[in-house]
């Protein structure tokens, strides 16, 4: 894996981004911001899942009061997501936003963009320049170029304008729904800009398709050392975005929030109902914060050997499970007790 690309460090609330800081996992609320109670509940659920930065839409002025309450209640930084109306971004900066996310291409004139820059500077918060196919700088929209080239040219031109205004507290994104275009765009941005990059595949799709597209696109970029924050965009519960984001980072050995679960795909040798067992163990492990490697194997003959590098695990036999640690057997339990027995041994290992 390539070394992480060196970028300028910034702070989003209490979260360091860029400058070698760990890749941060983000998501976005789906609740109506005018309903602060529901939104705060969702932010809390996202935080519990491991979300480190949360973005909240401000579509209209009547959402600003709710946004302010959300900022006050949240234990993680809250980013204001604003399109079209620059006055909403200005007011969000005054009401506690930890960062502004705007598409300069749809905010309007550069004078309006400048007003947002001034507000962010006064509040001492960063701005994410978020570019996608619908928010390109006007001079690039109709050019007969590949999408990735238009995204990069647009993002770079906006960065140059911010720099000319003396504002360098910037995060940049250039997302597309195409994995190939997104990867090409971010590779070029990494070569041309010093700023932290927020990576993601926009409009990736529903849970299955969106997870696959995001894992492929973000996996390529992260393996090349590109990316300082990420969001997995799914048409699903945003908590799932956080879980997938962490799984992508863990798969690349960049960061790990929960114990690692390795499990076999089962075959004709499996003599227990392993799939729901593995699913329940996975669910329980999501409440843990440790670096353990846990194996769930369907074959008592080969399971311990195949999972020798695991800290602890279970290998199934006919109606029973053999609990083992580092390839050595600990005890045998009936099938119905496998999950509880394994979790009990994990408790002992974590406490010890």
The candidate with the shortest Cα–Cα distance to 247, out of 282, 273, 279, 272, is 282
Q: What are phi and psi of 329, to 5 degrees?
A: -65, 145
pLDDT interval class at 352 (50, 70, 90): low
Least confident of 2-6, 97-101, 122-126, 249-253: 2-6
Architecture (CATH level 2) of domain 10-251: Alpha-Beta Barrel (3.20)
Query: How is residue 134 annotated by DSSP?
Result: T
pLDDT at 279 over 80: yes
The end-to-end CA distance of the chain, in Å, is 33
**Hey, which bits of the chain come out as E strands?**
10-12, 15-17, 24-28, 53-57, 78-82, 99-102, 127-131, 170-174, 198-199, 229-231, 260-263, 293-297, 312-316, 320-325, 328-334
Q: Where are the domains of the chain?
A: 10-251, 260-351
Q: What CATH number matches the domain at 260-351, 3.40.50.880, 3.40.50.300, 3.30.413.10, 3.30.70.1400? A: 3.30.413.10
What per-residue confidence (pLDDT) applies to 306?
Answer: 73
In SS3 terms, 154-177 reads as HHHHHHHHHHHCCCCCEEEEECCC
Q: Compute the distance between CA of residue 297 and CA of residue 317 in angstroms, rounded to an integer.
A: 10
Least confident of 150-164, 274-288, 297-311: 297-311
User: Global pTM?
Assistant: 0.92
Host H or E run for residue 110: helix 110-123
């Amino acid at each position: 894996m390539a070394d992480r690309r060196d970028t300028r460090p910034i702070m989003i609330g209490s979260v360091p981004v860029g400058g070698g800081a760990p890749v941060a996992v983000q998501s976005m609320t789906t609740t109506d911001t005018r309903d602060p109670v529901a939104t705060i509940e969702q932010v809390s659920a996202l935080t519990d899942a491991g979300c480190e930065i949360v973005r909240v839409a401000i579509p209209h002025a009547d959402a600003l009061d709710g946004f302010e309450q959300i900022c006050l209640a949240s234990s993680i930084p809250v980013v204001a997501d604003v399109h079209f109306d620059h006055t909403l971004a200005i007011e969000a900066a005054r009401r506690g936003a930890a960062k502004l996310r705007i598409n300069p291409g749809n905010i309007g004139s550069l004078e309006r963009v400048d007003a947002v820059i001034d507000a962010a500077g006064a509040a001492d918060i960063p701005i994410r320049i978020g570019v996608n196919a619908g928010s390109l700088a006007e001079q690039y929209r109709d050019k007969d170029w590949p999408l990735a080239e238009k995204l990069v040219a647009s993002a770079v031109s906006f960065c140059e304008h911010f720099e000319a205004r003396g504002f360098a507290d910037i995060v940049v994104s250039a997302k597309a729904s195409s994995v190939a275009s997104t990867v090409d765009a971010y590779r070029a941005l990494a070569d041309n800009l010093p700023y932290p990059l927020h990576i993601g595949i926009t409009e990736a799709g529903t849970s299955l398709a969106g997870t696959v597209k995001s894992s492929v696109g973000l996996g390529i970029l992260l393996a090349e050392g590109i990316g300082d924050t990420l969001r997995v965009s799914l048409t699903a519960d945003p908590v799932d975005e956080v879980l997938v984001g962490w799984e992508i980072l863990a798969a690349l050995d960049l960061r790990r929030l929960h114990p690692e679960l390795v499990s076999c795909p089962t075959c004709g040798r499996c003599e227990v109902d392993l799939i729901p067992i593995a699913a329940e163990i996975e669910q329980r492990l999501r409440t843990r914060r440790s670096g353990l490697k846990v194996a769930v194997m369907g074959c008592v003959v080969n399971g311990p050997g195949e999972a020798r590098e695991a800290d602890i695990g279970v290998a199934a036999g006919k109606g029973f499970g053999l609990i083992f640690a580092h390839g050595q057997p600990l005890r045998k339990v009936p099938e119905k007790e496998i999950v509880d027995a394994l979790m009990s041994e994990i408790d002992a290992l974590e406490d010890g």
